Amino acid sequence: MPASLQEARIKSLPSSAFYIADFITPEEEDVLLNKIKTAPKPRWKILTHRRLQTWPSDLTKNTLLHSPLPTWLVEPIITRLLAYPLSTDNPQNHIFTKSSHGAPNHVLINEYQPGQGIMPHKDGAAYFPAVCTVSLGSTLALDIYATNEDGTREAEPRWKILQEPRSLLITTDDLYTDYMHGIAEISEDLSLSRDTVANWDLLGSLESFTGGISQRSLRTSLTYRDVIKVSKLGNKFAMFGKS
Ligand SMILES: O=C(O)CCC(=O)C(=O)O
Ligand SMILES: [Fe+2]
């Protein structure tokens, strides 16, 4: 693994994104997929274009009801994220050093069948502006769109980031606040090359993509974020009351 996030920076993108291939091992991937699969059925929210689990719970008015994450979502990913230096100059500083709680407190698990995706969007102001995504199962491309002055997005994505299974992608700063991201509803990612894939040089198995095509299979993503507003149980009436 690179010595610090600086070495994992995707240099062709606006500031900032980082990509680390093989952030977790195949064994860790299996354990996570099994935990996700065996979670109680009501944990799944079924949407038309994907299904998802939210841990520890959904937000209400951008607020998280305080509750610890289960151990399997903390180990090994959060521990490894917090041990990862932003730069070798200040090895104690990590990606969540400046966030409200100094660590992610919320995880979304999205599952995509081939042909499924997510509309271009921004993640918004509820979170500290850094998202850490660990991908499981299959490679797919995340599309990055620039936005116009009036908030609408450009029709075509400016960049593609290829996310391999077991990789970590971090998006932060302007890329988090000013750009949109989405996943096209296709079953194979096409026209992959050094020119179209922003993180080409950081890929773990570059040789798999030299033909320019990547077939999708079931892909599961874990997105780790720090929700800024957290309410303790005692405040729950304030949270659900009129405001
Ligand atoms: O699955 C992904 O990689 C993206 C998910 C996403 O954009 C989100 O949950 O906000
Ligand atoms: Fe998102």
| Residue 69 CA: distances (Å) to CA of 52, 103, 145, 235 | 16, 11, 32, 20
Query: Could you tell which of 113, 142, 218 is best to mutate to test the pocket of ligand 1, judged by most ligand atoms within 8 Å of the CB?
Result: 142
- Mean pLDDT across the chain: 94
pLDDT tens per residue across span 158-214: 999 999 999 999 999 999 999 999 999 999 999 999 999 999 999 999 999 999 999
pLDDT given for residue 242 in this prediction: 42
Quick check: 241 pLDDT over 60? no
Ligand 2 being an ion, which residues bring their Cβ within 5 A of it?
123
Contact call for residues 153 and 146 (beta carbons, < 8 A): yes
Q: What is the pTM of this model?
A: 0.95
Q: Classify domain 5-233 by CATH architecture.
A: Sandwich (2.60)
Determine if ligand 1 sits within 6 Å of the CB of residue 223.
Answer: yes
- Residue having the nearest C-alpha atom to atom 2 of ligand 1: 221
Nearest CA to ligand 1 atom 1: 221
Length of the chain (residues):
243
Q: Report the C-alpha dihedral over residues 55, 61, 62, 65, rounded to 10 degrees.
A: -40
Using CA atoms in the order 21, 159, 217, 78, what is the torsion angle rounded to 10 degrees? 40
CA of 181 to the centre of ligand 2 (A): 6
Question: For the segment 54-100, what is each residue's pLDDT rounded down to a tens digit?
Answer: 999 999 999 999 999 999 999 999 999 999 999 999 999 999 999 99
Q: For the chain, what percentages of helix, strand and coil (3-state, to nearest 5) are there? A: 20, 30, 50
* 16 residue type, one letter: S
Note the Cα 92 to chain centre separation in Å. Answer: 23
Does the CB atom of residue 118 touch ligand 1 within 6 A? yes
pLDDT score, position 205: 97
Band (pLDDT 50/70/90 cuts) for residue 151 is confident
> What is the ipTM, given to two decimal places?
0.99
pLDDT at 239 over 60: no
For residue 1, is pLDDT > 90?
Answer: no
Statement: residue 237 has pLDDT above 60: no
Token pair recorded at residue 216? 């999708």
Q: Say yes or no: CB of residue 221 within 6 Å of ligand 1.
A: yes
Long-range contacts made by residues 32-41, C-beta under 8 angstroms, separation at least 24? 32/72, 32/136, 32/222, 33/136, 33/137, 33/220, 35/72, 36/109, 36/111, 36/220
